[in-house]
Structure 1
Amino acid sequence: MKKLILLLSLLFTISTVLTSCREKKETPSEKIEEAVDDTGDAIEDAADDVEDAVDDVVDEIEN
């Protein structure tokens, strides 16, 4: 019984040590896709800012 417990604890320890919690590395295509998404978001934000500025100018001209 003692050997069985020792064997199980050894297997548990080995499996815990060999299991990694790190994130997998991104491939170049994933990095490019993320950069494209970030660029698209930045363009949308800039377009929203321009739209707000135009609306402000139109409101100012009307008043």
Structure 2
Amino acid sequence: MKRSILMLAMFFTLSTAFTSCREVKEEENEMEMEMEEEMDEMDNDMDNVGEDIEDAANDVGDAVENAANETGEAVEDAANEVEDEVEGNDDY
């Protein structure tokens, strides 16, 4: 009787050890897959942020260029007005 109880106890211990190892491996695999998915998401987010920064830099560059063109045109118009005034004053 002692042998049968010891054998059952040993069988129970071994079966529990093998069962828990399988669960741990499955959990580790699930965790690794989740981590890979999160890394992929972060990589995609970083790509999107990089593209957004590039777009914003292009927008700023365009705005600066437009402002410079408008300022140049305003200065040119003002210079023409001054020239017209100076030429107009010579006639008097």
Give the TM-score normalised by structure 1: 0.58
Cα distance in 1 for partners of 2:80, 2:56 equals: 36
Alignment correspondent of 2:55:
34
| CA shift digits 1:13-56 (9 cap, x unpaired) | xxxxxxxxxxxx86100000000000000000000000000000
User: 4+ residue stretches of structure 1 with deviation over 6 A?
Assistant: none
Structure 2 stretches of 5 or more lacking a match?
1-44, 85-92
Matches within 5 A, 1:1-63: 27-63=48-84
Structure 1 stretches of 5 or more lacking a match?
1-24
What's the C-alpha RMSD, in Å, of the aligned pairs?
1.5
Equivalent residues, number:
39
Larger helix proportion of the pair:
2
Give the TM-score normalised by structure 2: 0.40
Cα distance in 1 for partners of 2:83, 2:63 equals: 30
Q: Among all aligned residue pairs of Structure 1 and Structure 2, give the percentage whose two residues are the same amino acid.
A: 41
